[in-house]
A and B are shown apart, each in its own frame.
Chain A
């Protein structure tokens, strides 16, 4: 829902700037707005009539509104399952601009619809896979960066929490309380859309990693703290008794013993992370979810979403497998 509102917001902004630029020219924005209003009311034919009013541009004239109107008309025709008219709309664009990829792709998609089902799915898959793969790569980058940052953050937060210094443990308690207590989506919005008003503007990728990193640090912090405190007190005693300082004891004795019990819950968190990266599609990141969404909105084709689901499953399966291996190795000293 917030996603839609934010998109509407962005679209509105875009239209406002356009309107500013085109003062004096024919007010196509008005026309597009009216046509979308009609669509929203279900009057598709009315919308079509309006869109047809945009004339074919003469040489040297601004072609944007024309292309937009014909493509919109094609989408409406496609939605009415009037494939022939939809293809005709695209052809109008292609006559003037034979290289327009949107129109070409749409025609290809429409032609495929006339072929048998399995064939369509196959060719859709081949067509969507490159951009979905690109999105998946971005998702993977986000996951890996967060997986690098959040265990370190989590460890610091955990050590801070069990510190006897009041201000330190208080601060860490607050961080956990805040980041676990508010929605990740809200945190991402705050970092990406909110911070610029404080003079801090971050590129989407940085904002996404900071948001995911902080959120997951807070969760991992609690998990790591629990694991540290579950190690028998005798171990800290024995480490102190042989003359190790607190930090040596933590580094060499206590924390290494937490690895095995940390792995299952951390594995869980990282699986959740893979799926949570979908939320960053709301802050202008083009990752797997956003790529699938874009394809779906362009072609009204459910195959894009199904493929994205499969890719998410592949990713989570791979990570589950890796974590099981690590867990086994971390616990090797308990196997005789």
Chain B
């Protein structure tokens, strides 16, 4: 996945959340986004996901300029998989129905085909036993794994994760991170906002440091953590690595 931003801006009221981002990133497989709270990571990811319209500026994905009209955004969203930190699953549907919904509604699968796809993906994640449970009957980690399964079932171009483990306890966190690691090993393109520095460092091959609405620093993950150049990143790493 290759991302290019040109003069990308977004404000909420008078607050500038994305501040004139202009950068051509190299073509990477697994990209991590780190940075302080309120720095604009989620907003950046939502823009890439086609859920947010920037006030101005351009965004190209794999050399293709993203159009921000409703119809183009809908098609764009159908081509990628997005997982948030919570509220991914629909509580009135079972795990299986949650996976079937986008296949049948957004991707035109007929029911038998959708069933086949959903069942094979549930099996892959060892979630078959939970197919007929409602989200309220599943643990947080199981819910996130179902959400990831749902995102993958549609065969997306790439996956976007926004702190998918921040609402989970440590044990569930590792079961979700394991899956993300597996997906990376399969060679899937993904972009992950995370506050797990260790995971970002080992699992990602490229890393962005976002603060104050800008991409302050970027580079291969190992290098970024080993030799932070900017004062902001050094301070940030100093703070998050303290404990």
* Given A240-B77, A241-B49, A257-B91, A248 and B105 contact (CB-CB distance below 8 Å): yes
Contact at A234–B151, with CB atoms within 8 Å?
no
**1/0 per position for A226-263, CB-CB distance to B under 8 A?**
00000010110111111111001000110011000000
A333 and B84 within 8 A (CB): no
The interface on chain B, measured as residues whose beta carbon lies within 8 A of the other chain's beta carbons, has a size of 27
Answer whether residue B168 sits at the interface, using C-beta atoms and an 8 A cutoff.
no
Task: Assess the A242–B84 pair: CB atoms within 8 A.
Answer: no
Any chain A CB within 8 A of the CB of B56?
no
Residue of B90, B105, B137, B151 near A257 (CB, 8 A) is B90
In the complex where A243-B107, A244-B102, A245-B74 touch, is A238 in contact with B84 (Cβ < 8 A)? Answer: yes
Indicate if B199 sits at the interface (CB-CB under 8 A).
no
Which residues of chain B are near A244, meaning CB under 8 Å?
A: 101-102, 105-106
Residue of A nearest to B90 (CB): A253
Q: Is A252's CB under 8 angstroms from B105's CB?
A: yes
Q: What are the residues of chain A within 8 A of B91 when measuring CB–CB?
A: 257, 333-334
Residues of B within 8 A of A257 (CB): 90-92
Range for the number of chain A residues in contact with chain B: 20 to 34
- Cα A131 to Cα B57 with chains together (Å): 75
Number of A-B contacts (CB under 8 A): 64
Q: Which residues of A contact B151 (CB under 8 A)?
A: 242
Q: Which of A237, A243, A256, A333 contacts B87 (CB 8 A)?
A: A237
With A243-B74, A243-B77, A333-B136: A238-B105 Cβ-Cβ less than 8 Å: no
Nearest B residue (CB) for A239: B90
Contacts of A232 in B (CB 8 A): 87
Query: Contact check: which of A241, A256, A333 meets B82 at CB < 8 Å?
Result: A241
Q: Are A238 and B87 neighbours in the complex by a CB distance under 8 Å?
A: yes
Please determine whether A243 and B92 come into contact, CB atoms closer than 8 angstroms. Answer: no
Question: Which among A232, A241, A256 has the highest number of chain B CB atoms within 10 Å?
Answer: A241
Looking at chain A's contact residues, the main secondary structure is helix
Q: Per-residue 0/1 for B71-84: is the Cβ within 8 Å of any A Cβ (1 yes, 0 no)?
A: 00010011101101
Bound CA–CA A243/B154 (angstroms): 10
- Cα–Cα, bound, A333→B136 (Å): 7
In the complex formed, the residue of A with least CB distance to B78 is: A243
Q: Are A238's CB and B74's CB within 8 A?
A: no
Contact B136 A238 (CB under 8 A): no
A336 at the interface (CB under 8 A from B): yes
Residue from the set A238, A253, A334 with the largest chain B CB neighbour count within 10 Å: A238
Residue of A nearest to B99 (CB): A242
User: What residues of chain B lie closer than 8 Å to A234, measured between beta carbons?
Assistant: 84, 86-87
Nearest-neighbour CB distance to chain B for A111, whole angstroms, equals 63
User: In whole angstroms, how far apart are the Cα atoms of A232 and B91 in the complex?
Assistant: 11
Binary per-residue interface labels of chain B (134-151) against chain A in the complex, 1 for a CB within 8 Å, 0 otherwise: 101100000000000011
A243-B78, A243-B106, A336-B137 in contact; A238/B92 too (CB < 8 A)? no
Q: Known contacts A240-B51, A243-B102: does B90 contact A235 (CB below 8 Å)?
A: yes
Residue from the list B49, B51, B92, B136 in contact with A336, Cβ < 8 A: B136
- Report the minimum CB–CB distance from A239 to chain B (whole Å): 8
In the complex the two chains form, what is the Cα distance from A256 to B90 in whole Å?
10
Chain A neighbourhood of B51, CB < 8 A: 237, 240-241
B134 touching A242 by the CB < 8 A rule? Answer: no
A237 and B101 in contact (CB under 8 A), knowing A243-B107, A257-B91, A257-B92?
A: no
Q: Which residues of B contact A245 (CB under 8 A)?
A: 74, 106
Chain A residues closer than 8 Å to B60, beta-carbon distance: none
User: CB within 8 Å of A: which residues of B?
Assistant: 49, 51, 74, 77-79, 81-82, 84, 86-92, 101-102, 105-107, 134, 136-137, 150-151, 154
Can you list 26 A-B pairs with a CB-CB distance of less than 8 A?
A232-B87, A235-B87, A238-B87, A238-B90, A239-B90, A241-B49, A241-B84, A242-B77, A242-B82, A242-B101, A242-B150, A243-B74, A243-B78, A243-B106, A243-B107, A244-B102, A244-B105, A244-B106, A245-B74, A253-B90, A256-B92, A257-B92, A333-B91, A333-B92, A334-B91, A336-B137
Apart from the given pairs A241-B84, A252-B105, 12 other A-B contacts in the complex at a CB distance below 8 Å: A234-B84, A237-B84, A238-B90, A240-B51, A242-B77, A242-B101, A242-B151, A243-B154, A244-B106, A252-B101, A334-B136, A336-B136
